[in-house]
Amino acid sequence: MLSDVRCLTNPDWVFEELPRHVDRLSRERLAGAGRDQDSLRRILSTARFPAGIPLHLAPDGDDAALRPNRPLADGLTLYLEARAAAAEQLGRPADDATLQIGLELGPEPVFVAWIDAGHTTRLPGEAVPPPLGQSAAAVRHWIEARIAQEIPTADDRLETARAAARAYALRAAAPNTLRAYRASIRAWCAWSERHALPCLPARGPDIAAFLAAERGRGMSPTTLDLRRAALTYLHRLADCPVPTQDSAVAATQAGIRRDAAARGHAPKPKRAAALDVLQALLAEIDLASLAGVRDRALLLIGFIGAMRRSELAAIRIEHVTQEARGLTLRLPLSKGDRQGAGVDIALPYTGSDLCPVRAYLAWIERAGLAEGPVFRRVFVPPKRPFALTRGEPVIGSEALSDRSVARVVQHYAAKAGFDPSEFGGHSLKRGALTTGMRNQVHPSRLKRLGRHKSYAPLDHYLEHGDAFEDHPLKNLL
DNA sequence: TCACTGGCCATTTGGCTGGT
DNA sequence: ACCAGCCAAATGGCCAGTGA
């Protein structure tokens, strides 16, 4: 962002003449903006000057008048170009925070560059200022550094407390969300850089064009929603006006959604592992192996609890209470429970071969676990040449990752002759709810089993069968 | 060598809210 | 009261490690 904008002539010139020197978009923004210095600076930071304007180096020690001195470049159309040209001429990195660029508004506009040494003095723990108007690379570095920020140890200093507050504020979003945002912001930085457009603050119509370009690359509309949410996040973090609210962005999004729907774009959910499929998967498990005992417990608990892969991976023995009728499982944190209030799941004894409680107890006993994560890695020692047997397997101390849970499901799906790509971690949850539906379980009970707050998500999970066979009024007419 | 993990990016799912 | 849209969070695919 421009460090300064100065009027060297009658200030009225700015609002009468200036619009003729800038692009149409900035002209509209100028017309709609207030007459304060800040809006002017913000709009001109992203404006394109079709005529091209020169860049000068301000003389040392004269910060009052910004009198142009040594010419550095000519024919520039954007603030960013001026910054890059000044950085190159002065031998500084383009994202150098001490490099300042101002705009002088006289009969002909002039960019002015100077070095502000006082700018670097920052107290330890003080926030790094957002790289407004700087290169896309600088924005990318800044956001990555902000996201990676650690919570400092309390030492009763105000600055530390402020730094901690900023770090906590970032943790308001789940790690998965931040990861997704980071990827989206990277995509925006790369695109805006390629097209020489301002990266931060961004302009609404540029973002709309970015979304259209991403759609052109084949991104799904929901991915574009994420891109937009990430750019909103970026601007909030940088304390900038949020350009994603621009009507151009909303209209472009709506158009993309409608067009995608017209072309028959629809989500591809994972296949439900309903009871019959689950039985086929379980049949493939080798119960002689330790990993097999674990996987049986994993699949059965995931199914009867209608659980997500992340929930399964996070179960700890401390969360499981054994009771006369089965097990109670406490989920300390999950998607539907954002504040981490905790959710209890009942796992009943079923008295059948497929009893999840017995499968769980068998695994705990075979693995000799007393505390910590329930589902862990099994290390199988490599087979030695000439040895008749492998060594004893070793149980890891860490929990399986949620990804591995999904891979277990896919592994047995492949063994059972299904296409493994149709299955995933979600198959267990969908399978449980679908099985319930097929057995005429009341939707309110399915909703509770799925731990959904409303009925709307439930329908997504159900795999509907034959529309003729299942017609609700079939036997009534 | 086996059985995983973790980074990166894309995609799907879930819950809430504001506008009607 | 309802629903589309927004934002948040989770999941999926691919691939390059990695530790026992």
- pLDDT at position A162: 77
Closest residue to C13 by CA to C1' distance? A421
Task: Give the best-scoring range by mean pLDDT among A218-232, A289-303, A456-470.
Answer: A289-303
Nucleotide nearest to A447 (CA to C1'): B14
Report chain B positions within 7 A of protein CB atoms: 1-16
- Rounded to two decimals, what is the model's pTM? 0.65
Tokens of A296: 């049986």
The CATH homologous superfamily of the domain defined by A136-262: Tyrosine recombinase, N-terminal domain (1.10.150.130)
Q: pLDDT grade, residue A121 (50/70/90)? A: very low
What does the domain layout of chain A look like in residue ranges? 4-120, 136-262, 275-461
Task: Give the best-scoring range by mean pLDDT among A187-191, A383-387, A417-421.
Answer: A187-191
Q: Is the CB of A404 under 7 A from strand B?
A: yes
Closest residue to B10 by CA to C1' distance? A223
- What's the average model confidence in pLDDT over A18-31? 75
Q: What is chain A's mean pLDDT, rounded?
A: 75
A231 vs A241: which has the higher pLDDT: A231
A291 vs A381: which has the higher pLDDT: A291
Task: Give the best-scoring range by mean pLDDT among A66-70, A149-153, A347-351.
Answer: A347-351
pLDDT of A349 strictly over 90: yes
pLDDT of A380 strictly over 80: no
Q: Is the CB of A390 under 7 A from strand B?
A: no
Measure A105 CA to B16 C1' (Å): 48
Q: Is the CB of A421 under 7 A from strand C?
A: yes
Measure A226 CA to C5 C1' (Å): 13
Q: Is the CB of A177 under 7 A from strand B?
A: no
Spell out which residues of A between 444 and 463 contact strand B, using CB within 7 Å. Answer: 450-454, 456-457, 460-461
- What's the average model confidence in pLDDT over A189-210? 83
What distance in Å separates the CA atoms of residue A301 and residue A320, rounded to the nearest whole number? 12
- pLDDT at position A66: 45
pLDDT of A335 strictly over 60: no
Q: Is the CB of A250 under 7 A from strand C?
A: yes
- What's the average model confidence in pLDDT over A226-244? 79
Q: What kind of fold does domain A275-461 have according to CATH?
A: hpI Integrase; Chain A (1.10.443)
